[in-house]
Amino acid sequence: MASSSSLLLPTAAAAARRSPSGHRAPPSAVLSPPRRLATLRCLGYARRRPQARHVVACASAASAGSLEALIFDCDGVILESEHLHRQAYNDAFAHFGVSCEPASASATDAPLYWDEAFYDDLQNRIGGGKPKMRWYFGENGWPTSKIFETPPSSDSDKEKLDWKTERYKEILKSGTVKPRPGVLRLMDEVKGAGIKLAVCSAATKSSVIMCLENLIGLERFNGLDCFLAGDDVKLKKPDPSIYITAAKKLGVQSQNCLVVEDSVIGLQAAKGAGMSCIITYTPSTANQDFSDAIATYPDLSNVGLEDLKLLLQKSLVTG
């Protein structure tokens, strides 16, 4: 095996060789291309060192950003759910005669009704079912109903107004609701590759469990490496608590997690936790500002595991 000096320096004969002007010929004139390149780099003729250092840095960053966990939001991601939630709210309002009108009003007995435009705005600002109702009734007054002739005053009575969750469960159990395209395939692909899989939702735990059992099946649900609902954290999205907690439970660094969300509230939560996020938007969220997402899709039909790995590595290198 040749010594290192013979690979890096010209031979004695080559060193004695001179140019017509009497100056030593540059190393490139006397060496074969592979040895010429090594010599040029050694003697400082090559100008590729900064680029080489950049390539090494990029390779290190890509390695550090390997995908170790994929985290799904539930509502809007696993199923297109907002129209179902709105239906459940309005069904509950009608069933219990919920009205925010003062008792002396001469209005009809029509119950409270949230139309599509109002609900789209509400759900894009406030995460979770109970927080939505608390905010609305806090702004418009706690309602009367068939349960309460006068607006409830105690916290325990206010909690009784959460009838909507039960109605939502009934809708999910009906068998008419299907997962969004590509979700089940991608979940199976991730688990098959040994990558951790989680679901983090701002909804109540009972509601999310019902959703997952009916839409992804018991086997996939029981195979999740982490499952968190709104009940498991003190603050709801856009606060990052739920994703920070998930990373700890999964035992992975935030930078190695990739989140799938459908709304700017979820995107803000993921970014706040130091995680990259892709968006699969719905009709009610399509016009939101997703500039902080690393990719945006109408659904997951054409998104595979290798796509996600490359996206995460690229986001770390360029970020």
Q: What is the predicted pLDDT for the residue at 242?
A: 98
pTM: 0.66
How many other C-beta atoms can be found within 10 angstroms of the C-beta atom of residue 216? 22
Spatial CA neighbour of 275 closest among 228, 315, 314, 230: 315
- Residue 174: is its pLDDT beyond 90? no
Domain with CATH 3.40.50.1000 in the chain: 69-80+179-318
Percentage of the chain beyond pLDDT 90 is: 46
Q: What is the predicted pLDDT for the residue at 226?
A: 98
Cα distance between residue 200 and residue 236, in whole Å? 11
Where do the H-state alpha helices sit in 9-144?
Answer: 12-16, 33-43, 49-64, 82-95, 116-123, 129-140
Question: Cα-flanking dihedrals φ and ψ of residue 277, to 5°?
Answer: -145, 135
Q: Which residues contact 271 (CB under 8 A, 6 or more apart)?
A: 240, 277, 292
Please give the residue that has the higher pLDDT: either 78 or 158: 78
Cα distance between residue 61 and residue 70, in whole Å? 19
Q: Token pair for residue 21?
A: 């002007």
Catalytic residues: 73, 75
Segment 12-20 mean pLDDT: 42
Cα distance between residue 142 and residue 155, in whole Å? 11
For 83-101+110-173, which CATH class?
Answer: mainly alpha
Question: Cα-flanking dihedrals φ and ψ of residue 144, to 5°?
Answer: -90, 165
Question: Cα-flanking dihedrals φ and ψ of residue 158, to 5°?
Answer: -65, -35
3-state SS track over 37-66: HHHHHHHCCCCCHHHHHHHHHHHHHHHHCC
Alpha-carbon torsion (207, 211, 214, 218), positive or negative: negative
pLDDT band at 130 (very low <50, low <70, confident <90, very high): confident
- Residue 318: is its pLDDT beyond 70? yes
Q: Are strands 196-200 and 295-297 parallel, antiparallel or unpaired?
A: unpaired
pLDDT in tens, 230-265: 999 999 999 999 999 999 999 999 999 999 999 999
- Residue 4: is its pLDDT beyond 50? no
Q: What is the predicted pLDDT for the residue at 114?
A: 92
Helix axes 116-123, 129-140, angle to 10 degrees: 110
**Cβ distance 263 to 230 under 8 Å?**
no
Radius of gyration of the chain (CA): 30
pLDDT in tens, 179-202: 999 999 999 999 999 999 999 999
Please give the residue that has the higher pLDDT: either 169 or 113: 113
Average pLDDT over the chain, rounded to an integer: 79
Domain with CATH 1.10.150.240 in the chain: 83-101+110-173
Helix axes 205-215, 164-173, angle to 10 degrees: 10
Q: What is the predicted pLDDT for the residue at 142?
A: 72
Q: Which of the four CATH numbers 3.60.15.10, 3.40.50.450, 3.40.50.1000, 1.10.1370.20 does domain 69-80+179-318 have?
A: 3.40.50.1000
Q: What is the predicted pLDDT for the residue at 59?
A: 42
